[in-house]
């Protein structure tokens, strides 16, 4: 076979060399039972086995992975999902056929949607379907060999989490997305991943070379190509090693310009693995992790916020009020919409559900005395939204004071992710700070969904239109004494950092795993 190079989109930088392993393998053969009652018991046992596997994985997962797994557990335990399958068994179908038919019907409905949110839900359902089918057939022949490059249409989060990546390996997908759950997990664990490949792969291709720094895979490579690949891989590893020497140092450009580098976290437990000396604080603490199966009470939220504030000491901790909606549904809080990214999400949803928002506000006010708290509102589009949210903080502060409860009013800022704010920042001259959410700002400016591989080439923070808005917000902040930071994925991308600094930013917030590489990239920028 002649060497073949296929282009794709880098989702998690790195290099992998090994055999291809097909993800889209058919499940094993199910042994039918003698009666409907036995088929029912068989499906119940398989669902239970799948849940047990997920529960075991939750115990060793980090916060991001645990949230995904808990969502799958909740769906498997939902009678509304399994009910149609049990009804089909009662009508004479075998357990595997009934389960596949019921789940495929659900998946087809979501797949047919033109909304990325619903198509993403279909991927979760496919994962759940296949977990139970594997349990039904007791299919044990689906483990990839050590160091293999997993290839296929897409990969389920659970498949990623149960794979042993300690011996290398990577992921190469025909579909997939740089903003998917698996892509985020891959970046946090250093697993090379390429999505949006222009041609399908087949496992019969033998040895493959995955360059997830530039987004290519080479099948049946020549000796010359193998040599060049290994040289590039060694260079990448050397750069990573060199980057570690920057981790404990304050970030500065080649000309000595200081740049603040903070971290993004999704769960209070995340800080247990971070040395506060390596960062300048928390630039984004997401609070959606608290809004899982049940809505959190005030005390639960207070304890979570206090933990992070006490860990950070005098360094700032910027907590974002709940950014539910869009691709982050919350049972009992969010609503299903035809176009959720442009619907009732972020601050819009909080202002529509004051009963829930006031609880979070009180918890934040009570936690503020325990550290250097800053609070920001997501998805702000108009100054009236900010003013309403700030007024609620003032009301709850007065109520706590009347009750003699310890509290403190933190600085209140906004996310700059809706183009209306980036285009006319003067309407928000009264806010305490701006934090640019590059993920949403880019997808709204470019009209290209961040989780759609088909338009991934359009979704770039380095597009002149996006950078012009970033630069104008940074300039407005500097002229008016309003601090400006950036907390999207671009802040930790070495390829984007030079453009962001040249646009005027001097404060970036990145995933903890990206701290060293971000600081190293900053040191190479001549500004």
Residues annotated as part of the active site: 181, 487
Per the CB < 8 A criterion, the answer to whether 486 and 500 are in contact is: yes
Which residues on neighbouring strands pair with residue 218, listed in sequence order? 5, 209
In Å, what is the CA distance from 147 to each residue of 103, 212, 238, 255? 32, 15, 20, 41
Cα distances (angstroms) measured from residue 274 to each of 36, 249, 263, 280, 448: 53, 15, 9, 12, 34
- Which DSSP string corresponds to 85-111? HHHHHHTT--HHHHHHHHHHHHHHHHH
CA distance 420 to 491: 22
Determine contact, residues 221/207, Cβ cutoff 8 Å. yes
| C-alpha span between 175 and 188 (Å, rounded) | 20
CB 286 within 8 A of CB 511: no
Spatial neighbors of 15 by CB under 8 A, at least 6 apart, are 170, 192, 209, 210, 211, 212, 213, 229, 232, 233, 236
Residue 236 burial (CB < 10 Å; 0-12/13-18/19+)? Answer: middle
Which of 163, 245, 114 lies closest to 520 in space, CA to CA?
A: 245
The DSSP string of 458-516 is T--TTSHHHHHHHHHHHHHHHHHT--EEE-SGGGG-TTTHHHHHHTT--EEEE-GGGHH
Give dist(CA 140, CA 134) in Å, integer. 8
CA distance linking residue 349 with residue 372, whole number of Å: 27
What single-letter DSSP state applies at residue 153? S
Q: What residues have CB less than 8 Å from 391, skipping those under 6 apart?
A: none
**The length of the chain, given as a count of residues:** 527
Confirm if 510 and 261 have CB atoms less than 8 A apart.
yes
Q: Distance between terminal CA atoms of the chain?
A: 49
Summarize the chain as % helix, strand, coil (round to 5): 50, 15, 35
CA distances from 192 to 11, 17, 186, 208, 415 (A): 8, 10, 7, 13, 31
List, in sequence order, every residue forming a beta bridge with 328; answer none if it has no partner. 325
| Residue 380 CB neighbour total at 10 angstroms | 25
């Amino acid at each position: 076979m002649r060497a073949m190079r296929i282009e794709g989109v880098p989702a998690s930088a790195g290099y992998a060399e090994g055999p291809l392993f097909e993800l889209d393998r058919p499940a094993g053969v199910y042994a039918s039972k003698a009666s409907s009652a036995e088929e029912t018991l068989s499906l119940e046992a398989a669902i239970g086995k799948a849940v047990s596997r997920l529960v075991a994985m939750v115990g060793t997962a980090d916060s991001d992975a645990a949230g995904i797994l808990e969502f799958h557990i909740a769906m498997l335990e939902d009678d509304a999902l399994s009910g149609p399958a049990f009804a089909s068994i009662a009508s004479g179908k075998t357990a595997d056929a009934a389960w596949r038919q019921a789940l495929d019907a659900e998946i087809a409905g979501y797949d047919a949607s033109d909304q990325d949110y619903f198509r993403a839900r279909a991927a979760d359902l496919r994962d759940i379907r296949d977990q139970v089918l594997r349990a039904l057939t007791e299919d044990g022949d689906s483990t990839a060999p050590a160091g293999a490059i997993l290839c296929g249409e897409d990969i389920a989060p659970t498949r990623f989490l149960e794979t042993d990546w300690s011996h290398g390996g990577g992921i190469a997908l025909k579909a997939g997305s740089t903003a998917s759950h698996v892509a985020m997990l891959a970046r946090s664990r250093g697993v090379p991943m390429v999505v949006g490949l222009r041609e399908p792969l087949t496992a019969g291709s033998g040895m493959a070379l995955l360059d997830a720094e530039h987004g290519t895979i080479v099948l049946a490579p020549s000796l010359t190509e193998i040599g060049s690949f290994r040289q590039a891989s060694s260079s990448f590893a050397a750069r990573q090693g060199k980057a570690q020497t920057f981790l404990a140092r304050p970030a500065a450009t080649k000309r000595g310009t200081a740049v603040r580098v903070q971290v993004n976290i999704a769960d209070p437990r995340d800080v247990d693995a971070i040395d506060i000396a390596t960062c300048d604080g928390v630039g984004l603490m997401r609070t959606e992790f608290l809004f899982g199966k049940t809505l959190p009470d005030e005390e639960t939220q207070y304890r979570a916020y206090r933990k992070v504030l006490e860990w950070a000491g005098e360094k700032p901790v910027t907590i974002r009020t709940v950014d539910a909606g869009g691709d982050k549904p919350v049972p009992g809080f969010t609503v299903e919409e035809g176009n959720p990214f442009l619907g009732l999400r972020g601050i819009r949803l909080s202002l529509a559900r004051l009963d829930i928002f006031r609880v979070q506000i009180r918890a934040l006010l009570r936690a503020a005395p325990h550290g250097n708290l800053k609070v920001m509102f997501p998805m702000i589009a108009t100054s009236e939204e900010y003013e309403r949210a700030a007024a609620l903080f003032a009301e709850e502060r007065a109520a706590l004071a009347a009750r003699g409860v310890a509290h403190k009013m933190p600085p209140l800022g906004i996310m700059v992710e809706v183009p209306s704010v980036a285009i006319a920042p003067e309407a928000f001259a009264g806010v305490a700070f701006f934090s640019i959410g590059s993920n949403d700002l880019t997808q709204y400016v470019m009209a290209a969904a961040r989780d759609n591989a088909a338009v991934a080439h359009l979704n770039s923070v380095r597009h002149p239109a996006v950078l012009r808005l970033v630069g104008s917000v940074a300039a407005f902040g500097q002229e008016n004494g309003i601090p400006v930071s950036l907390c999207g994925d671009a802040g930790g991308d070495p390829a984007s950092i030079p453009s962001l600094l040249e646009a005027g930013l001097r404060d970036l917030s990145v995933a903890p795993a990206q701290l060293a590489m971000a600081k190293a990239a900053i040191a190479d920028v001549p500004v």
